[in-house]
Amino acid sequence: MEDIRHITAEQLTEFLLQNGEKKFRTAQIEEWLWKRGALTFGEMTNLSVALRQLLEQHFTFQRTAIERRVQSSDGTAKYLFTLHDGCQVEGVLIPSGQRVTACISSQVGCALKCAFCATGTLGFTRNLHFSEIFDQYMLMNREAEQLYGHAISNIVYMGMGEPLLNYENVMESVRLITAPAGPGLSPSRITLSTVGIAEGIRRLADDGFKPEVALSLHCADELKRSLRMPVTRSNNFAMLQDALRYLHEKTGKRITIEYLMLKGWNDSVEDARKLFRFCMPFPVKINLIEYNATDSGYEKSPEENVQRFVAFLESKNMVVNIRHSRGQDIDAACGQLAKKGETRL
């Protein structure tokens, strides 16, 4: 049986009409699915019992469930989700003041094998369906209200996987989460983070993508980057820069550059100069990310290297933020998502 969330509103209307139901039921059902996050027909209490049974006989829900929650001493909570076929992904809630940011996954595992990232060691299993991306948001939103007394205010596509290699499902999940008839989150509160898939970035530009876009650059020396981020070989700097310039032209966006500070690899003043040059063709904001320990053997940059790096960029009038990590004690921080942690709910 098909998941009711995988058919279009038009198909649902057609089904309802064929079964002697009224057209307006579509909007009611859609509201249950995408605004209230229903995962059973039984809870759709404004539908007749007969209609609920009819739906039950023809459709199913491929349910996503929270398997485990681990909470950090800083309030960050990491979730392990089990999908309908037993695959698992992780999501993270990060509270700060009135804000709650949800970090969600776009794929089961990841194919890209960036040397410093724990997710890459899992390999790639499959893409998430848009309903599975939506489920992470919806389930964590309920949790956020309980844990922090606030709904999710921001979403970052920075969990497991590469969002631009699951383009359609990611786009559809953004559409659903921002839909006025659904949760209605503002696109400006959503950030899609990519390792740098040039073709995908161009597609975002052509599709008039409204959310923020972040590039996980981490190194502005092409050869050095390609050794630790092999995706650089098929998406070289010229292609990336062209795509980012095009995105800026089409959408007026300032691109966020994420830059992980790794001791002795990318944290010299010369590296900062290369970063400055890489960013010349388009306006950027730079987030320097503290490296989170994984089993990969890299070390984070010492504070003085970070300060020198920042001083150089600021001397070039670049906007730089230093991002301290959250949730490290529970392996919930960037690059640590790999299904570790044993605490059960």
Which residues carry out catalysis? 90, 334
Of 191, 292, 301, 305, the residue at the interface with ligand SAH (CB under 6 A) is: 292
Q: How far is CA 299 from the centre of its chain?
A: 25
Asked if 240 touches ligand SAH (CB under 6 A), the answer is no
Q: In the bound complex, what is the minimum distance in angstroms from residue 98's beta carbon to ligand SAH?
A: 24
Minimal distance, residue 301 CB to ligand SAH, in Å: 12
Are the CB atoms for 84 and 64 separated by under 8 Å? yes
Q: Centre a 10 Å sphere on the Cβ of residue 277 and count the other Cβ atoms it contains.
A: 11
Q: Is 328 in the site for ligand SAH (CB under 6 A)?
A: no
Q: Is 335 a residue that touches ligand SAH (CB under 6 A)?
A: yes
**What are 62's two structure tokens?**
């491929």
- Nearest partner of 133 among 76, 79, 177, 193, judged by Cα: 177
R_g (Cα) of the chain, nearest Å: 21
Using Cβ positions, the residue closest to ligand SAH within the complex turns out to be 335
Sheet holding 212-216, edge to edge: 65-71, 77-82, 88-96, 99-103, 154-157, 190-194, 212-216, 255-261, 284-290, 319-323
Which tokens sit at 189?
């509160």
Q: Does 201 bind ligand SAH (CB under 6 A)?
A: no
Q: Is residue 258 involved in binding ligand SAH (CB under 6 A)?
A: yes
Binder among 34, 291, 309, 312 for ligand SAH (CB under 6 A): 291
Measured CA to CA, the distance from residue 250 to residue 196 in angstroms comes to: 18
Instruction: Provide the mask over 160-179, with x wherever binding to ligand SAH is found by CB under 6 A and - wherever it is not.
Output: --x-----------------
Q: Based on CB atoms, which residue is closest to ligand SAH, 4 or 214?
A: 214
Phi and psi (nearest 5°) for 258?
Answer: -95, 135
Nearer to ligand SAH, 169 or 294 (CB): 294
Give the range of 14-22, 42-50, 187-195, 304-312 binding ligand SAH by CB under 6 A: 187-195
- Residues that bind ligand SAH in the complex, under the rule CB under 6 A: 114, 116-117, 158, 162, 193-195, 216, 218, 258, 260, 289, 291-292, 294, 334-335
